[in-house]
Amino acid sequence: HGCHGSAATEAGVVELNPPRGTRDFPPEEMRLRTWLFDHFREVSRLMAFEEVDFPVLESEALFVRKAGEEITEQLYSFEDKGGRRVALRPEITPSLARLVIRRGTSAPLPLKWFTIGQCWRYERMTRGRRREHYQWNMDVFGVPGVRAEAELLQAIVLLFERLGVASSDVGIRLSSRKVLQVVLDMYSVPQHLFTKVCVIVDKLGKMSRDEIEKELVSTGLPCEAVQGIIDVLSLKSLSELEQVLGSGAAEAVADLKKLFSFAEQYGYADWICFDASVVRGLAYYTGIVFEAFDRQGELRAICGGGRYDRLLSTFGSEDVPACGFGFGDAVIVELLKEKGLLPHLSPQIDDIVFPLDDELQGPASCVASSLRKNGRSVDLVQDKRLKWVFKHAERVNASRLVLVGKSEWERGMVRVKILSTKEEFEVKAGELQ
């Protein structure tokens, strides 16, 4: 990768790789990104969500939480020239909450907003891990019941279906943080430890059970509480959950049952399953939580989300019930690659206009200009040989070649070649569309 030191390593020599952990998007990569983002936007439109956006640079205070989350420990933060602490956002939800508070009562609820934005994190050890990714967020503010989660899950399933992914490839695990809350209450664990416990438990797949137990004990949990937590996390059905937790879990179970019955009505029940080990790693979730996973178990979570009814009060405002998800651009592309579902996207140009003679550059410009005004994409080529132009036409998938030749132009005509059928004809320059 060359030297990652200063950008100008020697006089006049600039580091050609993008900064560590970041990506360039040359045309072929950009076509793929645009294709994916178009699907994000189209699903959001189908679900009647409105698009919003925020600065990538935010005040650091927006993201600093004392819950030991990976996301806040890896904050890409620094001091700007005015001495303010700022950060490249690691996630989008806090910015969203900030805007909801700013709009205040002027925005009638519910709000259904989506955005597609770049998120950043700074890890010292980035072996192959990116420091930036793009993320599609959909959030609903002002709907207290699980209807909101049911809608978000439909959006995720719609996206998978549009991309050609089936419920045999991917599933969505759901649980509720209220489950863990009940377990902690059973062992009289103080409330201020709740988010810490959630953040630790979220590492289950990444760390061994022993390490998790050690971390839980080190927060001051009694051993029997740790055992109780570990036992409950292995539950995979609501009926087992009811047996183990009894009436304490009534609220969590009622939420989940309602969500499963919505899933039947929406027609995506075969995509979802209950799994008590899902808690998600963000501190602010309060209720239903979910994540999409590949059924072969080789990839990280494809997307994740949940309900966060108490986020606004952490910013000093009145709480509004809310839930949402984040869906990154990395894992889904890996999955599509693996399944052979990535499209072959080539550039698309309607017309190539080529003057066969130097003095015909003026007429060629005129022809190109009027075609563009008619909404056709036109590549005006000059100073090339005809052989090159034909090769170029093939490369960019052009539909037609418009040749401006001397004898034709004197009669006010141009020569048109339809590249797919190889047919050729002359057209009056003024009538070319």
Binding-site residues from annotation for L-histidine: 91-93, 121, 135, 139, 280, 284-285
DSSP classification of residue 430? G
Q: What distance, in Å, lies between the first and last C-alpha atoms of the chain?
A: 49
Both structure tokens of 10:
């020697």
Question: Residue 276 has what DSSP assignment?
Answer: T
Number of Cβ atoms within 10 Å of the Cβ of 24: 9
The runs of H, that is alpha helices, within 267-400 are 311-314, 331-338, 361-373, 386-395
Tokens of 332: 């889904």
Q: Which residues does 338 contact at the CB level (< 8 Å), separation at least 6?
A: 298
Residues at the binding site are 91-93, 121, 135, 139, 280, 284-285
User: 3-state DSSP call for residue 58?
Assistant: strand
Closest to 178 (Cα-Cα) out of 250, 125, 122, 123: 250
Rounded-to-integer distance, Cα 287 and Cα 252, Å: 8
Spatial neighbors of 89 by CB under 8 A, at least 6 apart, are 54, 56, 57, 58, 62, 63, 95, 117, 119, 120
* HEC string for 295-322: CCCCCCCCEEEEECCCHHHHCCCCCCCE
Output phi, psi for 264, to 5 deg: -60, -45
- Per the listing, tokens 């049952």 go with 257
